[in-house]
Structure 1
């Protein structure tokens, strides 16, 4: 039973999430021969203030990029 856990910062639409699930499922079927009906995918959305990147919280990093 394949299991994929995807963690992203909040903001993806339902349609975008559905596309991710479809694409990951298709990739597992194509590359590894896994049955789609046995594939589980969990999408966890994380607040930008709870995700660090390049030594900064993501919301701070984005603000810094916008200022540059």
Structure 2
């Protein structure tokens, strides 16, 4: 059972997230041979207040 965790900053639409999950699932199926129904994806959306690059919160950019 492939289990994929994707961390990303919030702000994408439902449609964008759904398409990303379809594309990631297709890539896993293509490259591992696992059946699509065995591919699990966990999306972790972070607020811009909870993510920093080089000491600067994304909310402050």
User: Alpha-carbon deviation of 1:54?
Assistant: 2.4
Q: 2:13, 2:54 → 1: CA distance?
A: 26
TM-score (norm 2): 0.91
Structure 2: tracts of 5 or more residues without a match = none
Moved over 6 A (4+): none
Equivalent residue number for residue 2 of structure 1: 2
- Structure number, greater radius of gyration: 1
Structure possessing the higher relative contact order (Cα contacts under 8 Å, 6 or more residues apart): 2
- TM-aligned CA deviation for residue 5 of structure 1: 0.8
> Counterparts of 1:33 and 1:50 in 2: how far apart (Å)?
36
Counterpart of 1:21? 21
State the distance in 1 between where 2:54 and 2:13 align.
26
TM-score (norm 1): 0.83
Higher helix share: 1
Unaligned runs of 5+ in 1: 63-68
